[in-house]
């Protein structure tokens, strides 16, 4: 390929809160299994096929430690296997139910049967021992750049510096334990940033992180070093990113695509296409794969053209090739947007043919897409691009509880008698505290998306922490050990977590 007109870095942020043992439907383990079956399996399959073709430096893949823990968890692995088998049975039931009816519905059932059979074969062949053995070869061969993050995806600006440092260092160590190397970059949860956080990143060995475009006033054409550090930030190019998914529009709303919200409740399948924004569920037309394929081709071409025009504009403006960073939740591709994986493959194949250098964040640095220094404001990728989603009036109770919990946690670790080794009870107390501090709970409440579930989860983990802390302070070691063991049966993630590091501030 001749000299590229510029670079394109796709960043996929893979994350779900800890869900095993905490409900099933409509929010809980079902959420995990749907995302696993419809996003993680097909996206990884795409990356493996590109790897087999000799492609390298394809994209940057963020995997949060809390998601990796679920995808490696034996209980969750068994649960997904059962779910995939149930999906296959539901497709067979739908085929019988729709026999003699609309041929488009019969084709939906047949397509779901084929998809579930492929997913079962893929899982049984490659995934039975978890995600890490599947991901590691893609990282080792340079197909993807893996980036990590803090343990339970907390909103870092609201954390005490000691808790923030502990969660980040422990998260990086957890990823290293699963993959064999410590990631050089992180997805800062919710792209949340407070001035000075780059110093903590540098101390933890983090070399690069993501912010949203407005934090750079839209000047996202180059990576920039932050403050007085050597830590680099990349900004999302919203002009390009929002072609796919924005707060108000994007490709997944096309009438030809599968409608995410409309269920056939007897089978649990989604047999309808979007049809129209104002069309009632019962009036939506059956899904037609041929129409969806036409929309995929149209939208892939539109996206490639958008990237090319953007890069030409950046080159004319700066006098040298620039970079477009598009970042999305991985769960968009397949789970929320059924056709997303097919669209993604079409784009990743078409961009190089259009003269665009497809690369990772690390590859973008190697290619010289670097600008000067910048001082970043307090920011996030949420509504208003500030902290209101996680620090607003709607979640003031969660914010207050989180602040109190952190103060109590630090007091606990600072005043307990030092032991000669790890304390499994204190380790579990820290797990529960970090689970209570997950940014997901505030997001779900602010967005009124399963808000009751989010409140309940934050409360459950906060109460489990408080109970263990009270027993430890009272010196009731036997009762504390028994309670910690019972709680760990549900919240046993992060086996390498060592609470002593929080006590020392390391």
**Which sequence positions are flagged as catalytic?**
190, 329
Helix (H) or strand (E) holding 210: strand 208-211
CB 401 within 8 A of CB 458: yes
- Residue where the block lists tokens 């488009």: 104
Residues 6+ apart with CB under 8 A from 24: 30
CB 152 within 8 A of CB 438: yes
Distances (CA, A) of 297 to 28, 164, 294, 334, 416: 34, 44, 5, 16, 62
DSSP 223-280: EEEETTSS-EEEE--HHHHHHH--SS--GGG-TTSBPSS--BTTTTB--BB---TT--
- Residue where the block lists tokens 């497709």: 91
Alpha helices, H only, 319-438: 340-353, 361-366, 388-391, 396-415, 424-436
Residue 199: exposure state from Cβ atoms within 10 A (0-12, 13-18, ≥19) = middle
The end-to-end CA distance of the chain, in Å, is 47
């Amino acid at each position: 390929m001749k000299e590229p007109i510029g670079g394109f870095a796709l960043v996929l942020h893979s994350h779900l809160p800890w869900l095993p043992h905490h409900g099933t439907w409509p929010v809980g383990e079902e959420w995990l299994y749907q995302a696993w079956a419809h996003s993680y399996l097909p996206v990884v399959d795409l990356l493996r096929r590109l790897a087999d073709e000799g492609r390298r430096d394809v994209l940057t893949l963020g995997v949060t430690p809390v998601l990796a823990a679920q995808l490696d968890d034996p209980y969750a692995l068994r649960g997904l296997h059962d779910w995939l088998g149930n999906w296959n049975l539901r497709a067979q039931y739908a085929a019988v139910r729709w026999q003699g009816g609309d041929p488009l519905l019969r084709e939906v059932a047949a397509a779901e049967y084929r998809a579930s059979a492929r997913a079962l074969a893929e899982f049984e062949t490659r995934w039975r021992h978890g995600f890490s053995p599947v991901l590691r070869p893609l990282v080792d061969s340079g197909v993807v750049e893996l980036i990590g993050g803090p343990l339970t995806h907390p909103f870092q600006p609201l954390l005490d510096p000691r808790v923030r440092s502990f969660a980040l260092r422990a998260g990086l160590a957890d990823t290293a334990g699963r993959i064999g190397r410590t990631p050089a970059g992180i997805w800062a949860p919710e792209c949340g940033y407070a001035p000075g956080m780059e110093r903590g990143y540098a101390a933890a060995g983090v070399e690069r992180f993501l912010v949203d475009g407005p934090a750079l006033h839209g000047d996202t054409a180059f990576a920039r070093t932050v403050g007085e550090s050597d830590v680099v930030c990349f900004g999302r190019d919203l002009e390009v990113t929002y072609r796919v998914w924005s707060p108000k529009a994007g490709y997944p709303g096309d009438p030809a695509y599968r409608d995410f919200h409309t269920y056939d409740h007897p089978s649990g399948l989604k047999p309808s296409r979007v049809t129209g924004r104002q069309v009632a569920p019962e009036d939506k037309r059956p899904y037609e794969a041929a129409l969806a394929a036409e929309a995929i081709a149209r939208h892939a071409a539109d996206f490639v053209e958008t990237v090319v025009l953007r890069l030409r504009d950046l080159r004319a403006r700066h006098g040298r090739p620039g970079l477009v960073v598009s970042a999305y939740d991985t769960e968009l591709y397949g789970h929320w947007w059924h056709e997303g994986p097919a669209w993604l493959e079409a784009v990743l194949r078409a961009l190089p043919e259009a003269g665009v250098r497809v690369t990772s964040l690390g590859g973008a640095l190697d290619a010289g897409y670097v600008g000067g220094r910048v001082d970043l404001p307090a920011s996030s990728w949420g509504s208003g691009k500030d902290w209101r989603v996680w620090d607003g009036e709607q979640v003031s109770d969660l914010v207050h509880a989180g602040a109190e919990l952190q103060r109590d946690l630090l007091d606990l670790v600072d005043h307990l008698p030092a032991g000669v080794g790890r304390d499994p009870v204190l380790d579990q107390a820290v797990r529960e505290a970090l689970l209570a501090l997950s940014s997901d709970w505030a997001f779900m409440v602010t967005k009124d998306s399963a808000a009751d579930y989010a409140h309940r989860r934050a409360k459950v983990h906060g109460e489990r922490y408080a109970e263990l802390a009270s027993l430890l302070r009272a010196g009731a070691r036997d009762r504390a050990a028994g309670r910690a063991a019972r709680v760990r049966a549900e919240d046993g993630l992060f086996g390498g977590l060592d609470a002593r590091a929080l006590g020392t501030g390391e």
